Homo-oligomer: A and B are copies of this chain.
Amino acid sequence: MPLRAVKPPADTRSRILDAAEALFMQHGFEGTSMRMITARANVNLAAVNYHFGSKHALVEAVFRRRLDPMNAARIAALDRLENEARGAALAPEAIIRAFVAPSLRLLEDAQGGGRNFVRLLGRAYTEPAREIRHLIGALYAPAMARYKAAFERALAHMPREELVWRMHFMFGTLAYTLAATDTVRLIAGCKPEDRYNAQLLEERLAAFLAAGLLAPLPRSCAIEEAA
C-alpha cells in the first residue's frame, strides 16, 4: 500500500501556500517577506523560488487555489437556478444568495485557512498593486459575466447603468464584510468575538443587498450637475 504516501506530513508546496495565506492576511503582500513565509512553513528559504518561481507567482497561486473553486461554485449555483427555473426569470434575491453563499461558506471553516483567505480576498479588490487587482479581475471575470447577464434578465426594466452601479455597491458590501474584522466591533462598542455565524450573516446580507438592488430609482440622469 505505497499509495497513501500522497501526504507525508504535508507536502512542501502546500505548507508554503498555507503559511503564505495566513501571513498575507496578517501583514499584507508587501509586508510579508519570503523569510517569514519559509520560516512559518518550516522549509528552506529557496523553496518558494524553486516551487513557484517568484514571490508574485506565489501570490497568484494562493489566490488561484481557493478562488477558482469558489467561482466555479458560483457558476454551478447559477446553472442550477436557471435549470430549475426552466427559462423563467430568476428572483433577484436568489441570484444574490447564489453569489454570496460560496464566500460565506469559507468563513465557516474557522481555524482552517478558508477564513483567512476570504478576508484576504475582501481586501484584495482594493490592492494598490496593479498586478494583483488585474489578477483578481481576471479570476473573477467569467463568473462576473454570468451574474451580470442573470441580473440583466431578472431586472429587465432597470437602466443598465444603474444596474452596473448597484452591482458595484453589492460587491463592495460583500468585500468589505468579508475583509473587515474590527469595524463591527467599532460600531457595536464591544461585542467580543462570538464566532461568525455564517448562516445568519447570509440572511442579513441577502436582505440588505436585495433591498438595495431593488430600491426605487433615484431621480435620474437629468443633468443637475451645474452646482
Interface of A with B (CB < 8 Å)? 25-28, 30-31, 122-123, 125-129, 133, 137, 140-141, 144, 148, 161-162, 164-169, 171-173, 175-177, 179-180, 182-184, 186-188, 191, 197, 199-201, 203-221, 224-225
With A30-B30, A184-B164 known as contacts, the answer to whether A176 contacts B126 (CB < 8 A) is yes
Query: Measured between alpha carbons, how far is A141 from B189 in the docked complex, in Å?
Result: 10
**15 A–B contact pairs at CB < 8 A?**
A28-B128, A31-B128, A126-B126, A133-B182, A137-B183, A144-B186, A162-B204, A168-B177, A168-B180, A172-B177, A172-B183, A173-B173, A199-B224, A207-B216, A212-B212
With A28-B129, A224-B199 known as contacts, the answer to whether A176 contacts B172 (CB < 8 A) is yes
Contact of A172 among B180, B201, B221 (CB under 8 A): B180
- Kindly provide the distance from the CB of A115 to the nearest chain B CB, expressed in whole angstroms: 15
Contact of A182 with B137 in the complex, beta carbons under 8 Å? yes
- Kindly provide the distance from the CB of A136 to the nearest chain B CB, expressed in whole angstroms: 9
Contact of A218 with B203 in the complex, beta carbons under 8 Å? yes
Residue of B nearest to A26 (CB): B128
Residues of the B chain whose Cβ atoms lie less than 8 Å from the Cβ of A184? 164-165, 168
Query: Measured between alpha carbons, how far is A179 from B180 in the docked complex, in Å?
Result: 14
